[in-house]
Amino acid sequence: MKRQQGITLIGFVFALAIVGFFIYMAMKLVPAYSEYMGVVKAMKTLAAEPDLATKTPEEIQRDLAFKGSFQYVDDSTFSAQNIHIKNGPGGGTLQVKYDKDIPFMYNIDFLLHFDKTVPLGNNGGT
């Protein structure tokens, strides 16, 4: 007698539900990470500008928001409380630190914390 092999309908539906769950989770998380990549690109572009030392923090914030708009970055990402400019002996740094709250399902949310620091000046783009 030959024994049948393969997956049952219930097993297939169960596997499909698990795959669907992870696809739904990726659909919620991927946009936040692609926005972060846009933030990093805008920061590196701004840090490489030669006239950055003459700009005020408000001008830097405005320039970041302008450069971020090309990368589809949300305007609230570049708010004043998220941008920190620090000067030190080895040169200054530009830090953008923000949280993203992403509703997932029912009362479950993802809280993502992003923190990126780039050196300012001529070596900022490297």
End-to-end CA separation in angstroms for the chain: 68
Could you tell me the residue ranges of all domains in the chain?
9-119
Q: What is the pLDDT of residue 122?
A: 55
pTM (2 d.p.): 0.78
| Residue 46 exposed, middle or buried by CB count within 10 Å (0-12, 13-18, 19+) | buried
Per-residue pLDDT of the chain (126 residues; tens, 9 = 90+): 778 788 889 999 999 999 999 999 999 999 999 999 999 998 898 888 887 777 777 888 888 888 888 888 887 787 878 888 887 776 788 889 999 999 988 899 999 999 999 987 654 444
Three-class SS of residue 64? helix
In the 8-state DSSP scheme, what is residue 6? S
